[in-house]
């Protein structure tokens, strides 16, 4: 998905100054963001309270929306650099097209993993004939310096590994959890998993103490350690945990995001991740000039999204020292 904010703020992310040295329970309520004319999403990252969880740099949760009598998701061609997009659906379908020629319909339980690297453009739309409800999450992963200029790629994984125990059914989107490893290519140590908790589930999930973690309640609510995590909210768990206890009264779906704290400092603006304001400005200029860096999305009927005006103050990758 695109950040459709016409005045997107620039963010400096990364560095370890904000990473707690041990477990915490920070509730991040997120904020409602209007995308385009009708789509409302809840933005959980970045927020005022937290900017990164591992390399996870952007988290939007949307729906479930009744789109029976509307076109549903309609995101025109837009660019990305320096990141991966992870698309995850709980209900509905999304038609992905990109400048590599990829053309795929993504369904619940499948992973759409787009590595922007050097540069890519894509569009995302509900198919003309689509299911009634649309519900999902749009996630971005920041690429480390060694991989951020890599060739762009798109992978559609229709089968994902997982495991089941104590009322929990886990599906691994990225990284590894409970011995199940995702086929998705990751460039830093991280994990993303869908946790489906049955009514009455009481489960202790093993974690990696070197990782920081957050849980997003995509449907239902759950007790996580001593905190109540309600639908649409995110709970940041900090680092240093060997496990986390989750209890669900009613059935619930949680999204687990985690990873090694991301040490590099990055600049994120609109749909770009770079290392300096100059870089970001160049990406925007090249996108608006229809430069070959991003290519063209074939088969999309309509105009591409222009880059919003750059912020008046130059973007700066300010040194945040650990
Ligand atoms: Mn996008």
Q: Does pLDDT of 291 surpass 90?
A: yes
Q: What is the DSSP letter of 145?
A: T
**Ligand 1 center to 3 CA (angstroms):** 7
User: Ligand 1 mean position to 4 CA, how many Å?
Assistant: 10
CA 165 to chain centre: 26
For residue 31, the tally of other CB atoms under 10 A from its CB is: 11
Ligand 1 center from residue 116 Cα (angstroms): 9
Q: From ligand 1's centre to the CA of 85, what distance in Å?
A: 7
What is the structure's pLDDT at 272? 97
CA distance 312 to 299: 35
CA 219 / ligand 1 centre spacing (Å): 23
CA of 61 to the centre of ligand 1 (A): 14
For residue 34, report the distance from its CA to the centre of ligand 1, in Å.
16
Distance 75 CA to ligand 1 centre (A): 8
Query: 177: CA distance to ligand 1 center in Å?
Result: 26
Please tell me the distance from the alpha carbon of residue 88 to that of residue 94, in angstroms, as a whole number.
10
Output the CA 247–ligand 1 centroid distance in Å.
34
CA distances from 270 to 27, 83, 233, 322 (A): 25, 12, 23, 26
50 and 14 Cβ atoms separated by less than 8 Å? no
Rounded to the nearest angstrom, the distance between the alpha carbon of 24 and the centre of ligand 1 is: 31
pLDDT value of residue 21: 86
Has residue 176 got a pLDDT over 70?
yes
18 CA → ligand 1 middle, Å:
27
Buried-state track 97-134, b at ≥16 Cβ within 10 A, e below 16? bbbbebebebeebbbbbbbbbebbbbbbbbeeebbeeb
State in Å: Cα 253 to ligand 1 middle.
Answer: 24
* Ligand 1 centroid, distance to 227 Cα (angstroms): 33
Domains of the chain: residue spans and CATH: 24-259 (2.60.120.10)
161: exposed, middle or buried (C-beta count within 10 Å: 0-12, 13-18, 19+)? middle
Distance from Cα 17 to the centre of ligand 1, integer Å: 29
Between the CA of 2 and the centroid of ligand 1 the distance, in Å, is 4
Tokens of 186: 């990751």
pLDDT band at 126; cut points 50, 70, 90: very high
Asked whether residue 320 carries a pLDDT value surpassing 60, the answer given is no
Report how far ligand 1's centroid is from the alpha carbon of 25 (Å): 30
At 10 the pLDDT is 65
3-class DSSP state of 287:
helix
Phi and psi of 224, rounded to 5°?
A: -115, 115
How far apart are the C-alpha atoms of 272 and 47, rounded to whole Å? Answer: 17
39 C-alpha to center of ligand 1: Å? 15
pLDDT digits (tens, 9 = 90+) for 37-77: 667 899 999 987 788 999 999 999 999 999 999 999 999 99
Taking the model in full, what pTM does it have? Answer: 0.94
pLDDT at 48: 76
DSSP codes of every residue in 262-284? --S-EEEETTEEESSHHHHHHHH
Q: How far is the CA of 84 from the centre of ligand 1 (A)?
A: 9
Q: For residue 79, how far is its CA from the centre of ligand 1 (angstroms)?
A: 7
Other C-beta atoms lying within 10 Å of the C-beta of residue 243? 12
Going from the Cα of 244 to the center of ligand 1, the distance in angstroms, rounded, reads 32
Checking if the pLDDT of 299 tops 60, the result is: yes
Q: What is the pLDDT of residue 315?
A: 73
On the question of pLDDT at 321 being above 50, the answer is no
What digits encode the pLDDT tens for the residues 128-173?
999 999 999 999 999 999 999 999 999 999 999 999 999 999 999 9
C-beta pairs of 227-232 under 8 Å, 24+ apart in sequence: 227/25, 227/27, 229/27, 229/254, 232/30, 232/42, 232/61
For 56, residues 6+ apart whose C-beta sits below 8 A from its C-beta are: 45, 139, 140, 141, 142, 190, 192, 214, 257, 258, 259
């Amino acid at each position: 998905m695109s950040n459709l904010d016409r005045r997107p703020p620039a963010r400096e992310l990364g560095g370890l100054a904000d990473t707690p040295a041990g477990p915490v329970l920070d509730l991040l309520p997120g904020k409602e963001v209007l995308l385009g004319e009708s789509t409302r999403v809840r933005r959980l990252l970045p927020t005022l309270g937290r900017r990164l969880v591992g390399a996870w740099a952007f988290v939007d949760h949307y729906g479930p929306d009744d789109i029976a009598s509307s076109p549903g998701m309609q995101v025109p061609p837009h660019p990305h650099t320096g990141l991966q997009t992870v698309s995850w659906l709980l209900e509905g379908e999304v038609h992905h097209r990109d400048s590599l020629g990829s053309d795929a319909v993504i369904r619940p339980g499948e992973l759409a993993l787009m590595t922007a690297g050097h540069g890519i453009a894509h569009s995302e739309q509900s198919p003309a004939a689509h299911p009634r409800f649309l519900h999902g999450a749009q996630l971005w992963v920041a690429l480390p310096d060694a991989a951020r200029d890599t060739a762009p790629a798109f992978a559609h994984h229709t089968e994902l590994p997982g495991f089941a125990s104590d009322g929990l059914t886990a599906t691994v989107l990225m990284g590894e959890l409970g011995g199940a490893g995702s086929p998705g290519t990751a460039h830093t140590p991280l994990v993303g998993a869908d946790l489906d908790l049955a009514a009455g589930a009481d489960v202790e999930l093993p974690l990696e103490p070197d990782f920081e973690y957050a849980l997003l309640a995509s449907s239902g609510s759950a007790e996580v350690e001593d905190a109540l995590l309600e639908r649409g909210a995110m709970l940041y768990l900090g680092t240093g945990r060997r496990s986390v206890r989750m209890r669900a009264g009613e059935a619930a779906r949680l999204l687990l995001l985690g990873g090694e704290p991301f040490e590099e400092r990055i600049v994120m603006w609109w749909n770009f991740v770079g290392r300096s304001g100059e870089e970001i400005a160049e990406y925007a200029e090249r996108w608006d000039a229809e430069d070959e860096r991003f290519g063209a999305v074939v088969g999309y009927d309509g105009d591409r999204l222009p880059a919003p005006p750059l912020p008046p103050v130059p973007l700066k990758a300010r040194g945040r020292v650990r």
